[in-house]
Amino acid sequence: MSDVLAPGRSGGVSALYAGNARAVVARNLAATKTSNWTVVLSGFFEPVFYLFAMGVGLGTYVGDVTLPSGLHVEYAAYIAPGLLAVSAMNGAVYDSTWNVFFKMRFARLYEAMLATSLGPLDVAFGEISYALLRGAVYATGFLTVMQVMGLNLSWTAVLALPAVVLVAFGFASFGMAITSLMKTFQQMDWINIVLLPMFLLSATFFPISVYPAPLQWLIQAMPLWHAVELVRGLTTGDLPPSTWWHVVYFVAMIGIGLTVTTRRLRALFLA
């Protein structure tokens, strides 16, 4: 056996990526099986409980909601897609922020991974893929619940599944970019400060037409509003041509998130 390796291609992305992100996904699946399957269960039930409490319970008093197109839908059918979008956001953000932050700073898991042939991009893609996989499983469960309750009003509800994965991808790549810039737990708290008002105000529970115009513009700049509108359009079948803008918004979010994440990982791990 020779004691030197033949030189091959070098530089560029090959120093960051070994094309083996699936090993990182497999690790997370093994860890889920061994240690934290209860967390996975709770992630499924959270939006279901919200749906029963607000949609069924509160909905009895609220009555129907009128969509911008003039379509009337019962309250549960109005908020169910909103809850689906929110749970996609929460799951993706949790996986790409707290989870990644913990693994990076405390469990030193990435240090172990990066001592192998894996590169930082394998780790980033692997973590994001796992977050999406988990999000897709939750979304399938929740859409099934909606179907059983008669809340999917159009065949386009099937497309809500890929839409949710797109939304989760956007939040996960953006979340990871933000996490790679954070150094302390105190900074991580800022993430919650942004998430909570977005959750409460982004047309999740009621149309944003109740707000004055400037506040509406602000909300329309936020990603959750686009997510809610996109998913709601698909489950109710109320799909104006402007729906495509929501898709474009998330594609852009993914692009920016991945670019920043790659740059930061290079600086963090190969310095």
Partner 1 sequence: MVAARGLTKRFGDFVAVDGIDFEVAPGESFGLLGPNGAGKSTTMRMVGAVSARSGGDLTVLGLDPDDHGPRIRAQLGVVPQEDNLDGELTARGNLVTYGRYFGIPRSVCAQRATELLEFAQLSERADAKVDELSGGMKRRLTIARALVNEPRLLMLDEPTTGLDPQARHILWDRLFRLKEQGTTLVVTTHFMDEAEQLCERLVVVDHGQIMAEGSPAELIRRYSSREVAELRFGTDRNEAAARVLAEVGDRLEILPDRVLVYASDGEAILEQVAARGLRPTTSLVRRSSLEDVFLRLTGRSLIE
Q: Are 43 and 87 in contact (CB under 8 A)?
A: yes
Q: Which is nearer to partner 1, 48 or 109 (CB)?
A: 109
41 binds partner 1 (CB under 8 A): no
Q: Which is nearer to partner 1, 4 or 148 (CB)?
A: 4
Q: Which is nearer to partner 1, 27 or 216 (CB)?
A: 27
Question: Of the ranges 14-22, 150-158, 166-174, 223-231, which one interacts with partner 1 (CB under 8 A)?
Answer: 14-22
5 binds partner 1 (CB under 8 A): yes
Q: Which is nearer to partner 1, 5 or 148 (CB)?
A: 5
4 binds partner 1 (CB under 8 A): yes
CB-based contacts of 257, cutoff 8 Å, min separation 6: 170, 172, 173, 174, 175, 176, 177
Q: Which is nearer to partner 1, 82 or 120 (CB)?
A: 120
Specify burial of residue 193 (Cβ count, 10 A radius: 0-12, 13-18, 19+).
exposed
Q: Which of 42, 66, 117, 192 binds partner 1 (CB under 8 A)?
A: 117
Distance CA 246, CA 48 (A): 25
210 binds partner 1 (CB under 8 A): no
Paired with 65 in beta bridges are: 73
Question: Of the ranges 78-86, 107-115, 146-154, 243-251, which one interacts with partner 1 (CB under 8 A)?
Answer: 107-115
35 binds partner 1 (CB under 8 A): yes
Q: What are the backbone angles phi and psi of residue 64, rounded to the nearest 5°?
A: -85, 160
Selection from 3, 179, 197, 6 nearest residue 86 by Cα: 197
Distance CA 265, CA 271 (A): 10
Question: Of the ranges 11-19, 71-79, 86-94, 155-163, which one interacts with partner 1 (CB under 8 A)?
Answer: 11-19
Give the SS3 label for residue 65: strand
Selection from 178, 227, 233 nearest residue 202 by Cα: 227
Count of residues that bind partner 1 according to CB under 8 A = 36
13 binds partner 1 (CB under 8 A): no
